[in-house]
Every structure is written in structure tokens, then in C-alpha cells.
Amino acid sequence: MNRDAGARAVLVAAMASGQGKTSVTAALARKLLRQGLRVRVFKCGPDFIDPMLLERASGAPVHTLDLWMVGVEECRRRLHDAAREADTILIEGVMGLYDGSPSAADLAREFGVPVLAVIDASAMAQTAGAVARGLRDYGPVELAGVVANRIASEGHANMVASSLRDIALVGWLARQDTPLPERHLGLVLPGEVDGLDDLLDKLADGLHFNEEAWCALPLMAQSAPEWPDPGRLLDGRTVAIARDAAFCFLYPANLDLLEKMGARLRYFSPLADEAVPADADAVFLPGGYPELHCAELVRAANWQSSIRATHARGVPILAECGGMMVLADGLTGQDGQRWPMAGLLPGEVHMQPRLAGLGAHAMPTEQGPVRGHSFHYSRLETAAPAQAHTVKTGNGAQGEAVYRIGSLTASYFHAYFPSNPPAMAALLGGGTP
């Protein structure tokens, strides 16, 4: 494939979840990367797990684009930065193309990015054309073309292609014998999938790709927007961050912001029984899957004693979702087994089969609201009073409780730090230099 000056950008979307957006995005990223192109991938909407897999597929960090949580101007800056650095920009959509407010379609229209529609054709043939035209015309959106997923044969692909009429079939994927595995919060973490790179290569090999249709797409603008200076609000402070298979829900933008504010980041692994670094001026316990690692966390005596001692010294601790769960008195899995946890937050966490919280939220602070989201399958039963509650953006209703016990701030709420740098600096013990 010839390399042009500039980047082609598409938003990979579908009529619903489960159509194969992530598989198609990963296959396309890996295929173009192996052709020597520079690929940047973004994820539309709050998500931690898909970006991990797409980072493995593309070889570069995957940032979030969301018109509300991230904001229009930061989304624009990230896209234009990527357009100057890459040949291809892929944005994986969220849910169905028009689902939510703002939707993936809203984002595509805001930045003039054409939509690449993924259609699960496993139980249809010519009707794929009707689906594609409906996705294009309902909004409407600019449609770059279609990638048909779970195709049974080349003849099946030809029937789909003929049904599209004036819409290009940019590619198709056969039914996968080994699809990407999933669990209750989404895909299984990349580190848990044996032979993941081989699986991604197999997806790329199986993508029948129309290079002529791809090269007909326009190039994206490459302006150089200015990034605001958040200020050195954490200058000289060491922020210790739990990071392993139990604590892995980390937005790259959050970590970038902490460093821009002058923080030194120190990572440690509770699962490996690593203590909180002794020189930590603040601790961040992000979300993840602690419920899958209870036995290891219970055995991690160094970790547990160190987080208790850190709290006793008054070091600021910010705990999100899974990070909060491990600080409760106990965690009970769906099998009914209870595991004792660190005991900084009185109460019990119970896993459940159904979602307990989902959606975009804003957390009030003295520095103004912090934007973010909630997504969890557990509930916390506690007598501790909530010091505040997040606000659900859809209807303004009360959202997640925010607990403050000594130097600990804990909630199911996942914060997008760049939405309010002064507030996040304050939560980590920083402020005006």
C-alpha cells in the first residue's frame, strides 16, 4: 500500500454491541501495521479493556474519545496530533452507532470522520445492504463502507457486496473459530490470553481487505492545536499507583496528566505482595478485577500492612471501584465465599451477576465537577456516611457514593483526570505551588 501525506481516519461502528467491532478494529490495525503504516487507535466512550487489546494490535497507546467526558476540544487535539504522527486513525465506536447521548455518530459528525460499518452477516445475506443504508441515512453519517463479519464463504461475501449497491465493501472476516474471549466487564485482559499476538495475526490474515476502497478515503486535516498547561500542581510529589492484573483500569490520559503536573509515578503490585513505596506522597488504587484474585490479595500481608500504615500516616489515598473494594472489610464472590480485605473502609462488598452501576457521572469537588463514569457488578454495604454523591449525566439523579475516611477518598466512580486537573491534584494532596 502506498503511503500518502496525512492520515486516513474512520470510526468503526455497528448497529449494536456484539457485532465484532473490536475484532474488526484489531484486525485492521494489525494488518495495516504489518504493511509498514503508522497506526493510531482510539476508543469511543468510557472503556478500559478494549483499549488494552487494541494497544497490543496497534503497538501504540489507545486514548479515549468522548464528547462529554473528554470534551470536544481535547478530542480534537488528540485526533489532530494523531493525524500528524500516523498514516491511519481507527476509532472503535461504542454500542450501536446512534446509541447514547453523545453517540458514536455524534463524534463522527463533530470531526468529519467517516463511519466504517461492521455488519454481522452470519444470519443474513442481501439484507446487509438494508442495514448499511439504514446506518448511513438515519443520522445521517458519511459512510466509508462496510466490513462484513462472520462470513461463511466467498460466495456469501459476494452476495453481501452486491446488496450494498453504492456502498463499498471494504473488507470481510470469516467466522472465527477462536473469538476474543469475554467476561462480565468486557473482553478478557490481554495478559490472560495465551497466544494473543498469534490470534491478532490470525485475525489480520483473515481480513479480506479492499485496498482500492480504503485508499479512496479522504485524508484528515493536520492542524497543530495547542494543549493547555495544567500547572505544576503535583511538582515534586511521588504518586504510587497499584498496577497489575487486579488493578489495571487506567486511562493513559490520567497518567499523562499526573506527569504533566509534575508528579513522579511509582508503580507497585499488590498481587506480588509489594508494599506501597515508602516515599509515596499519595496513592492511587485504580479499578480492575480484584474479585478474581482474592486468594492472592489475602496472602499479600506486606501489601495489606503497608496500605494500612500509609493510611495511618495520613497519606492521601484515592481508590476507584476495584481499588475501593480491596479496602473494605471483606469481599464475597458470587460463589458465596468471603475474603477478608484491608479494612480501611467499614463494610462488605458483594459480587452479583447483574450490573449494579453503569453510565456517565460527574463528581462534585471544591474545584468544580470531575467527569467520569461508573461500571461495576458489585455492591458495597456500609454504615459509613457518604460525603458526596456523583450526579448521573442523563437525568441528574444521584449517582455513586463518595466516602472519605481520614486521608482516604473512595468510590465506585472512575474519574477522567484531565476533566479537572486542580480537583485531581487536590485529591492527591497537591495544589497551587
Catalytic center residues: 321
Contact 15, 146 (CB under 8 A): no
Give the end-to-end CA distance of the chain in Å, rounded to a whole number. Answer: 51
Cite the beta strand spans of 269-387 per DSSP E: 282-285, 317-320, 328-332, 338-340, 345-351, 357-363, 370-376, 378-381
DSSP lists the bridge partners of residue 282 as 239
Distance CA 109, CA 94 (A): 15
Q: What does the DSSP 8-state code read for residue 244? A: B
Grid coordinates representing 182 are 469475554
Which residues, in sequence order, are CB contacts of 326 under 8 Å at separation 6+?
A: 246, 270, 285, 290, 297, 319, 341, 342
Which amino acid, 270? P
Q: What does the DSSP 8-state code read for residue 323? A: H
Distance CA 128, CA 115 (A): 16
Cite the beta strand spans of 29-114 per DSSP E: 39-44, 63-65, 88-92
Which residues, in sequence order, are CB contacts of 311 under 8 Å at separation 6+?
A: 317, 344, 406, 407, 408
CB atoms within 10 A of CB 359: 18
Q: What does the DSSP 8-state code read for residue 48? A: S
Question: 329, 339, 335: which is closest to 295 by C-alpha?
Answer: 339
Q: What does the DSSP 8-state code read for residue 226? A: P
Which residues, in sequence order, are CB contacts of 123 under 8 Å at separation 6+?
A: none
Reported as type and span, the H/E element at residue 32 is: helix 21-34
* Residue 123 burial (C-beta neighbours within 10 Å; 0-12, 13-18, 19+): exposed
